[in-house]
Every structure is written in C-alpha cells, then in structure tokens.
Structure 1
Amino acid sequence: MLDNITKKNIDDCRDVLVGKVPDPKSQIEQITLALIYKFMDDMDKEAVEKFKGKAKFFTGEYAKYGWRKLFDPSLSGQDMLALYSEALEKLNTNPNIPELFRNIFKNAYLPYRDPSTLKLFLKYINEFEYSHSEKLGDAFEYLLSVMGSQGDAGQFRTPRHIIDFVTACVNPQKNETVLDPACGTAGFLLSAYKHILNQNTDKRQGDKLKPDDRKKLAINFVGYDISPDMVRLSLANMYLHGFATPLIHEYDSLSSEDRWQETFDVILANPPFMTPKGGIRPHKKFGVQANKAEVLFTDYIAEHLNSNGRAGIVVPNGIVATSQTAYKQLRKMLVQDSLIAVISLPAGVFQPYSGVKTSVLILDKRLAKKSQHILFLKIENDGFDLGAQRREIDKNDLPSALQTLEAFKECLSNDRAFEDLPSLATLVEKEIVLENKDIVLSAERYFEAKVSLTEFELAKLEDICDVRDGTHDSPTYVMDGFPLVTSKNIIDGKIDFSNVNLISREDLDKINKRSLVEDGDIIMPMIGTIGNPIIVKKEREFGIKNVALIKFNENTKVNNVYLKYILGSEQINDFFLSEAKGVAQKYVSLGLLRSIEIPLPPLEIQQQIVAEIEGYQKIIDGAKQVVNNYKPTITINPDWEMVELDQLCDVRDGTHDSPKYVLENGIPFVTQKNITKEGLSFDDIQFISREDHQKIIKRSNVEFDDIIISMIGANRGMSCVIDDTREFSIKNVGLIKPLGKINHTYLLYFLKSQNAQEYISLMSSGGAQQFIGLTTLRKFPIPVPDVVEQTEIVKAIEEEMQLVNANKRLIEIFEQKIKTKIGEVWGVKEEVSEL
C-alpha cells in the first residue's frame, strides 16, 4: 500500500525535475532509473549488513558506482553530476546486474547538466526506504498514475478503470497466453495478471495458484512496443509486480515480420490511434491492405488470435464508422470471423488529450461461430463526469454492461436465446450489419431502432416541414455588408454576430432565393458542431452557409419550439454521430436531415410538453442570471498599497506562433476561448505536436496554482487558476506566476472583480478584435491589503460563491428535467436526482 511519505517523495522529485525535464515521459524515466539504481544498492547493503553476505551488484570495477558513493562529502556538485551521469551510461554493461536491469539502463543518460538540480533530485530519491520490490512497485505505480493524468501524447492515456473493464470483458484465464502488441507501460498485461490472481484467491491474493501455475504465468504474458523508452518502463513495471524476467520486446508490430507467426489466446490493447505523416509501410501479410495504424493494429490483433482466441480492443470511431475501403474490409472480416460485441464509450473518456470518440471491440472466435448476432452496448456514464477534470460520480454503466456481456456469452455457450436486454444493450443480426453498404459498427446507429418505444407516431422531417440548407457557394467577403452565418456562428442557443463575415447585397439576394431565413424558422449547423438547433428571432438580415433551414407554414403539424427540443435531443445527436461523414470536419447531408424520423404527438400534446419544458427553462434562465452576472466585489481601501502586477508575480504570455494542429494524440493548445467563467475548459480544444509544445513551454510553462488570463477578444480579462497537473500550451493567454508576495486566491478574485474588468476594458487596444498587451498586463495596479485582510476577503467571497454554486446545481437539475421530458417523448424513462 502506498504511504503518504512515498507519495510526497514522488511529487517532490517531479517538482525538482519539471524545470529541466518538462516532458512527463522523460520525468518518469529519470525517476525510474534513480529508484532502481538505489534499489539495487539497498539490496547490496541488506546482503552485507543483515545477512552478512557479499554485495552482488556494485562490485569490482563497478563498485565505484554504488549509490552511496554519490553522497561522499568530498564530491563537489560537478563531481556528483559526472559520477551519476557516467553510472547511468555504464550500468547496462555491468555483468553483475541481471539482464532485465541491464535492459532498463540501456541507452540511459542524464538529460540535463545542472549540479544543483541533480543534488536536490538525488536527495529526494535517497529518502525512499524499501527492502522489497513491492514497496518500489507502489511508488512506480503511483508515478505512472500521476503522469497518466498528464497524458503524454497518448502514451499514458488509457484510464485504469477502462483497462480493468476491458480485461474483465475478455476474462483471461490462468492457463492462457496474453499479448499486448502496443503495450506502453504494460497496463493491460498487469490488469490481466491481477484479474487472474483475483480469480484464484481464497484468503490472500492468488493463494489458490499452484507452483506450476505461477511458472506458466511468468511466461504467458508478452508485450511488444516500438519505443525503447516504453519497453524500459514496461520491463520495470512488470518486474516490480513479480515478473523476474518479463517478456517485453522492442518490436514494430506493423512493419516487422519476425514475430508474425506468434499467436495468443488473449490479446488486450489500446493501440495508437495516430498514423505518422505519409502513413505506415507495413509488410504484405496483413489481410487488409492499409497504411493507417488503427486499421493495421486491429487487423493484427484479429489475425494473431489462436483458433479459440479472444480480444478486447479500444478503437477510435474511424474503425467502427469510416466509409473508406480498408475500414469496410476490416469490419466485414471482423463480423464474419470473430466479433461478438461493440461497446460504445462516452466521448469524453480520453479528454482532454484526445476528443476522439472510442469503442471497445470484443472478439471471441469460438462464440462468434455460434452467434448470428452482434451485441451493441452503449455506455452513457463510466463513473466519472465527462468534463476536463473527470471527477468521480455515482452513475456508472460499466458494471451493467459487463453483466450483460457475460450473460450474452453464457447464452451463446449453452445455445440459449438471449432475451433480457437492459436499455443500454441491443442485439443486431450480422446479416443486417453486413447488408449496410458501409458495414457500420457504430452502436449509436443500431440504438436508433429503439425509437419505436415511443407511443407516438413517427414522421419524417421532410413530410412535416420545408427543410433546406444554405448556399453552397463561397461569396466574396466585403468590409460593409450583410452577415453570412455559418456553423461556427451558432453558439449557446443564439447567433453570435461578433465574428461573422460580411457579404454584398447582391450575394445576399442570391442566397435568399434559395434559403430566406424568417422569424420563427429553425436553423441548425450541418458541419463541425452538428445539431444545436435554434429558433430565429430575426432582428437583422443575414444569409446562411453550412446551416440547415427548417421552415413552417400555417398547416404545419409541428410546433417549432417542440421541434427545436426534439432536434437537440440526445437521440438525434446520437443519430448524427453515427451517420456523420468526414474525418477532420464531420458533416451531415441535407438528404439525411430530411429523412430523420421524429415522434409526432398531436399539436395539443406538443404544446403541453413545450409549456412544461419552458417552465423549467425559466428557472434555468433565472439561475443563469445569478451565475453569469456574479463578479467578486472588493471594496478598495485608499490606504492599501497599489503594486504593479510584475512586482508581485512573474508575468508572461503564450506563444506568438501558430503551430499546426494534429488530429489525435497531441497536447492541448489552450487559447482565450478556453478560459470561461467556470474555469479552464477543454471541451472545444485543438491539439499540437509534442515537438511544438516543447518549444512553447520554454517561454511559458503553465504549472499548478498559476493563473492564466485571456488577453484578446470578447472574453479578454477572463481568468482562472490552474488546479491540476495536466500539460497544455497557451496562445493569446497571459501567464501569471505568483512569487509568494500575495495570496494567489485573493489575486484571482481581484482579477475577476468589476474594478479589474473595467480597467482591462479601458486599457484595451485594437479595432474589431480588442486586446490587452503584455506590458499593460505587467503594469496592472493591484491593491494589496495586509495578509490577514486578504484572507478575510477570500473567505467572504467564497461564502458568496457557495450561493452561486447552488444556482449552478439548480441549472444542472432542471436541464436534466428537460432531458428527461424529451426522453419520455422518445419512450425513454429516467430519474432526476434533486438538490
């Protein structure tokens, strides 16, 4: 069990390294090497002092590298650095060290040359006390979990509860071989190992395993990874969990043929989603010819199962829905050969490091031969909220999904029909899946069939409304003209005209011949943020592009407010998610919109539904007035000293460059739009490469407890404190690092106050896009009362914040009531928790 002292030591080590080694993976490596270095020396010390034997590791010409020699008082800081650096590079040649440890130290080096940093780092490492690898294992597991929360370019991003869930779905047994072909830090392998131990436990973990069972376990777990750094971490992690000689191989699963003939009983993986520029050049043995990593890895796993093998694979949405030929060939092969279940995970599971939608494919070659169906499971909640913080909540569909999958497998094994499906599950015949031209495996598509639960008749949208779209042309923009509203301009239930392009009267008239927007019409984005319908309250003329237009007449059988809520419902959003085309920019066609079927109660019932929802909405609007208009108030005493911000803090800004965005596995790139009243939001975020991130943080490395502030646009002056340790880069954002001269919470509240916001508005420059410069920000006059008064001000404001937070909770409850009411129209029953 991890103790608080060990946890603090890990945190201290990270704090020391972060200035010189900002890359989390490199931090892990340096701490790992130091921990194992000291561990070997501790074992030598124990052998000599406790058992009166001889040292085993640091002997002969390698005795000079003993850990304790680093702390010789006669060594200068530079001498210590030279000795430690030399030791790291020489330990992999020490014949007295087991091959496992030599592999861990292979290509090891010290990435910085600052003696004071090394001295402090080694001091904290030296405070670790452990006489057994289990203690070191606890430390290492915590280290990986902390770094996992930072999400290094996808390497550590698989959440532990998802790993354990996938493992439980596949249910590996003690006599089975297990592979992860992209093993990272060996998370899936160790999850499978612990799963087997727990299955064979009476009084203590694994006590029902016989000696022969344990010998087999030691050679049954195999991992591949292309990265030598990941291999090093996997070796260490496996060793520290009881594997004396872990079978972790540095191997390119997609390009090398050396291990192609090896097959396994169980394969578990969350393979890389990202494909290098130019694609991958695989060998010719793959059944599906492709150059995308996600396709090749999925194919590799399916092809390397034994005749009765099983697999659990975390895959991006492209694998289940993309219509390119290679993806369709892969899905056809899976359906025909091994797929028994598809589990749709919530879109926020891997936030904020990748917004990609994911699913879990469950393969079972034996049961697939007996099944005419595929089980689709849709996870709404995984035990954590889907915000950037991923806070634990009490709603969790994973246990029910696992139970349903186990029942399905049991029925297949015993040749029984599987009939008792919970609401999160649906069975689809393989023939139906294969008949679809794209062979889509997206769970959302097949859950649309459950719409029939509604008691009302279904009607196609084109049969009850006039459904059009905006212009398909690209009119010339002008300086003085009429707004051209696109998908990006529909935000939070209204049209945002602040960032809209203008077109001429002539172009507007052309657009209006096709799609004239009138008061009471509904418009809805068709590209990017698909959905989000709004009812137009027309106060000015404008044209539309990439936007659907839904018009009504006096004979229309649908209430426009009712239709807005239906089109914004979870059921329609799921439909769009499953049917949208495109890769970088998702879109839906006009034909698809027209074909949507919606429940159509009589107009009188529609009006009753609208009246109930609008009652809830008034409560929400009132609570939002409190939340949106609240600003901390600090009455400034003229006796307080006024101090410029850069005298109290280190004040910088983000990059001035425009790095290229990457689709997946990147580092979040925070701009002014991500700073909200609620704090830092990763909901609408772009990602950049690790290389660009490293360049940016040399100038502006954001750390825990720093304050960031928007410097440009409508929300300039919006600020928040950084309350977690995840990595990101910044642009158009000020970075404020308190120097201990002011209570940083007081400073944050002052920056949010009306006085501060008025100053920022007054000092802003620019035309259409107002901004506050870095020099102005640094010279920002801050009122500084004494420390006691700062604390009292913070306490008073936090009491006010409790009332604001109660209103936020009110908003959540009544938004859920609206969702529940709309769900009832579709035939879905939900309970709403109260305050």
Structure 2
Amino acid sequence: MKACLSEVSEFITDGTHGSPERTEKGIPVLSAQNVTGGTLTYSTSRYTSEDEYQAFKKRLDITIGDVLLTIVGSIGRAAVISKNKPAVFQRSVAVIRPKPKDLDSRYLLHLFHSQFFQSELYRNSNQSSQAGVYLGRLGSIEIPLPPMEEQQRIAKILDKTTQISQLQKRSMSNLVLLKQAIFRDEITNKSSESYSPLSDYLTFITSGGRGWSRYYSEKGSKFIRSGDIRENKIIQNDAQYVQPPNNAEAKRTCIHEGDVLLTITGSRIGRVAYATSEDAGSFISQHVAIIRLDREKAIPSFVSFFLSMQDGGQIQIKKSQYGQTKPGLNFEQIRKFSIPKLSLDDQLKVMKKISAAEKILDAHSLQSNKINEALASLTASAFSPNTQT
C-alpha cells in the first residue's frame, strides 16, 4: 500500500518565516543545523523572548512524536521530537505530525533517511542557488505504507541497528582519542618536553607543480591530491593516474617510501600522512608538500602522527595561518615546526604502542562498515517502492 505523505499527516508545515526578536537568553531559536544524526540538538547562540515563543506556539504547537525534516539548504535530515522543550523553529525545518492510526513517527524518521525518500526529495526540490522543498511538493510524495504493526516492527529493528552503529562510532572516536593520549603520555615521559625544529630532521622538502592535468591518464603512476590524504593514511577511492614526463620536475615531485606528505593550501590544509612502499613512485599535486626525513634521526610514522595531533602539529599549523587571507604554508614555516626530541629507539617504542591501538581501531572500523552496510540494506529493503502489505 502507498499513500501521499499529506494523506497520512495531520499537518505539514514549517517554522517561522520572520526574524524572531533576539535576546541574550531565553527560548532557543533552532534551524536545520540543529537537526543532525537523527536527533535534535538545542545548542544555539540565538535566543528569543517568551512573547515570541507564545506567538509561534499559537501557529505551531510542537509536541512529542512530531517529525522534523530539513527542507532548505542541506535538505533531507530528520529527527523526532522526544521531549516537550520550548523552542522556535525557522523555516528551514518542516514539521510533520503523523496521523496516529496511520503512520508511526519512528517509521517515518527512518523512511526520511532512506535512499528511496532522499531521491524523491531531491527530485521534488528546487535546485537554485540554495536547495529547497516546497511543502506542497513534500506532501505529494508517495510513501510505502504497510500496516501499523509492520511499521512499528520495521522502526524497532532500524532503531536498534542505528543505535549499534552510533555506539560503534563513539567507540571508534574514543579509540582515536586513546591513540593520541598514548602518544602524548609517551613523548612526555621520554622527552621531558624537549623539542627540536623539524629542520633538524629534514633532508629535502618540496611541493608539487602546476599543469599536471595534461598528464592525466587511465593508467600509469598514481597522482596524490590533497583529498587523498587523510589522518595518517593515503586513501584513493577514486585514484587519479598520470603518465609523468621524463624531466627534472617529475624527478623532484616523485614520492619515496617514508616521505611525509602534508597538504599546504586550500580548505584541506594540514592533512598529513606518510608514504608506504605502495605509494612510492607516485607524484604530488601543487597542494601537497613532500617532507623527506633523515631516517637516522626520525621515523616517518612518528613525525606524521605528531603533525596530525590537534595539540601537536595542527595547533602549529593553525598559528601559521593567523592573519593570512588565503590559507597556505610555506617551507620556512614547515621547517620551524617543533617536533618532540626522542631517540630513534624511543620513537619506535612509541609507534609500536600506537600500532597496537590502530589494529584495534581497524578492526572496529571493519565492524562499523559491516553494521552500516547492514543498516543500509535493511533500510533499502524496508522502504523499497515495491513494498507490499
């Protein structure tokens, strides 16, 4: 069975189209930014008065079980109201009140997050400079509507799977923090907080050149761009290849095993990873720097990990950006980065502990991927347009 969303909703409306009076404290004013990860957050810097809230409440008295959907800008995020807490919503959020006998709120939440509904939402959106969905078109979208008992069964299964997925994500976040804590404690114990400039460990530093797009090809050597550099890893889900020229430029920008790669321009500035044997022979874009270390003084994984830490290399990178209109790092700034002064043996001992933690994190990551795949499969199956009663 199918039905238009409007047919199984008591109403579909949106938040205020006006600009609520601003106050330092009072009633929170919420927008699409507050709807994320299937939940509603009340954290905001915008507040309004009790009078404004009462005026809003006369038009829209939000209650437990109402479903929120972002309909302006980043469209398609949803949440269910779980507690009666005063708030004024802006027009970027739609409020849908399901008919209790026809439509379950939790079922609708998961439906909104399904690929089926996201595609329908996009198809019915106004793709101008800022994406948006008119309420009338939202209400006209046909949704699969099994019996209430089946809706609640589906919602219960997806609630549980989503909860497991979220717990897995939190566990992974804690493991990342644990790695950093281990590193921080180890360098404090071993170095007595003694640091040296990165220049003391360098043998070579350079960055990629312009114009490599003319060497793009379907096969050849890998070409590392800023987006390929993640947290201490080079990940190329959509690898770019080049047929490099036989010249000095190519020789200068060719990656060696153990090179530390650092993004030095653009919005991804500060990403860092070290090159493995699989990355050797690749080439870099103009947004990436090669930091080649004296291997008798520094272990690449140690330097890379330190530069990736928020209170290690990242805070130094941010300070280097202060006052600049266009984000960028030059070689002189990189050479001045302070690096913990540890012997090679101590660096190796630190990284063995980090490696052990990373193996646990990789196992959790694999498990998380399986859970997410299962959740996606369950959601797709539950909300297929061909769902039968």
- Displacement after TM superposition at 1:779 (Å): 7.2
Per the alignment, residue 707 of structure 1 pairs with: 262
Tell me the residue number matched to 2:48: 504
Structure 1 unaligned residues grouped into runs of 5+? 1-456, 652-668, 683-700, 730-734, 767-773, 830-835
Q: Which string of whole-angstrom CA distances, capped at 9 and with x for unpartnered residues, describes residues 656-705 of structure 1?
A: xxxxxxxxxxxxx999xx998697999xxxxxxxxxxxxxxxxxx9x984
Q: Which of 281, 293, 299 is equivalent to 1:740?
A: 293
Specify the code of the residue in structure 1 equivalent to 2:67: I
Match of residue 549 from structure 1: 95
Q: How far has the Cα of 1:468 moved from its partner?
A: 1.1
> Which letter does structure 2 place at the counterpart of 1:707?
L
How far off is 1:786 after superposition? 2.3
**Distance in 2, Cα, partners of 1:475 & 1:511:** 9
2:46 aligned counterpart, secondary structure: strand
355, 361, 372: which is aligned to 1:804?
A: 361
Distance in 1 (alpha carbons) for counterparts of 2:174 and 2:301: 20
Contact 1:477 1:501 in 2 (8 A): no
Please state how far the C-alpha of 1:574 moved relative to its aligned partner: 1.1
Say which of 462, 466, 470 aligns to 2:6. Answer: 462
| Distance in 2 of aligned mates of 1:827 and 1:806 | 31
Matched, 1:643 2:196: yes
Q: Whole-Å Cα distance in 2 between the matches of residues 681 and 507 of structure 1?
A: 50
* Shift, 1:591, TM fit: 0.5
Residues 335-374 of structure 1 correspond to what in structure 2 (within 5 A)?
A: none
How does 1:511-550 map onto structure 2 within 5 Å? 511-538=56-83, 541-550=87-96
Q: 1:614 to 1:717 in 2, by over 3 A?
A: farther
**Residue among 378, 381, 385 paired with 1:821:** 378
2:168 aligns to what?
623
**Alpha-carbon displacement from aligned partner over 1:122-150 (angstroms, at most 9, x marks no partner):** xxxxxxxxxxxxxxxxxxxxxxxxxxxxx
Name the larger-Rg structure.
Answer: 1
1:717 and 1:751 in contact (8 A); partners too: no
Structure 2, unaligned runs of 5 or more: 206-224, 237-252, 276-281, 323-329
State the Cα RMSD in Å.
4.7
Aligned 8 A contact 1:675 1:718 in 2 = no
Measure the CA separation in 2 of the matches of 1:813 and 1:752: 27
Q: Equivalents in 2 of 1:483, 1:728: separation in Å?
A: 45
* Alignment-derived partner of residue 268 in structure 1: none
What SS does the corresponding residue of 1:549 show, helix, strand or coil? strand
Structure 2 counterpart SS, 1:484: strand
Deviation at 1:557, TM superposition (A): 2.5
Write the distance in 1 (CA, Å) between the matches of 2:154 and 2:73.
30
Shift of 1:748: 2.8
Which range moved further: 631-640 or 812-821? 631-640
Give the aligned partner of residue 426 of structure 1.
none
CA distances 1:3-31 after superposition (whole Å, capped 9, x unpaired): xxxxxxxxxxxxxxxxxxxxxxxxxxxxx
Aligned residue type for 2:46: L
Q: 1:802 to 1:548 in 2, by over 3 A?
A: same
Secondary structure of 1:707's match?
Answer: strand
User: Structure 2 matches for 1:580-619, cutoff 5 A?
Assistant: 580-619=125-164
Cα displacement (A) at 1:490: 3.0
Structure 1 residue 565 displacement after superposition: 0.6
From the superposition, tell whether residues 546 and 705 of structure 1 become closer, same or farther in structure 2 (CA, over 3 Å). Answer: same
Q: How does 1:409-420 map to 2 (within 5 A)?
A: none
Contact 1:644 1:778 in 2 (8 A): yes
Match of 1:288 in 2: none
Displacement of 1:568: 0.9
Q: Partner residue of 1:203?
A: none
Q: Which amino acid aligns with 1:461?
A: L
1:440-451 map, 5 Å: none
* Selected match of 2:109 from 555, 564, 570: 564
Provide Cα deviations, 1:778-821, integer angstroms capped at 9, x if missing partner: 97653232234434533442342232122222222222222222
Secondary structure of 1:583's partner?
A: coil
Same amino acid, percent of matched pairs: 20
1:787–1:806 CA distance, 2 compared to 1 (3 A): same
Is 1:794 aligned to residue 351 of structure 2?
Answer: yes
The alpha-carbon deviation at position 569 of structure 1 amounts to: 0.6
Distance 1:642 1:815, change over 3 A: same
Partners of 2:269 and 2:26 in 1: CA distance: 30
Counterpart-to-counterpart distance in 1, 2:369 and 2:302: 28
Q: What TM-score do the two structures reach when normalised by structure 2?
A: 0.64
Alignment of 1:140-219 (within 5 A): none
| 1:427-486 CA-partner distances (Å, limit 9, x unpaired) | xxxxxxxxxxxxxxxxxxxxxxxxxxxxxx112222222221112224465554544322
1:676/1:488 CA distance change after superposition, 3 Å: farther
What is the distance in 2 between the residues matched to 1:681 and 1:547?
36
Q: Is the 8 A contact 1:705 1:721 kept in 2?
A: yes
Measure, in 2, the Cα distance between the counterparts of 1:540 and 1:708.
45
SS at 1:630 equivalent: helix
**Partner letter of residue 747 of structure 1?**
V
What does residue 54 of structure 1 align with?
none
Distance (whole Å) between structure 1 residues aligned to residue 292 and residue 58 of structure 2:
62
Matches within 5 A, 1:241-390: none
Distance 1:585 1:497 in 2: 24
CA gap of 1:522–1:777, structure 2 versus 1, over 3 A, is farther
For 1:296-327, what per-residue CA distance to the aligned partner results, in whole angstroms no more than 9, with x for missing partners?
A: xxxxxxxxxxxxxxxxxxxxxxxxxxxxxxxx
Structure 2 SS opposite 1:581: coil
* 2: CA distance, partners of 1:757 / 1:640: 15
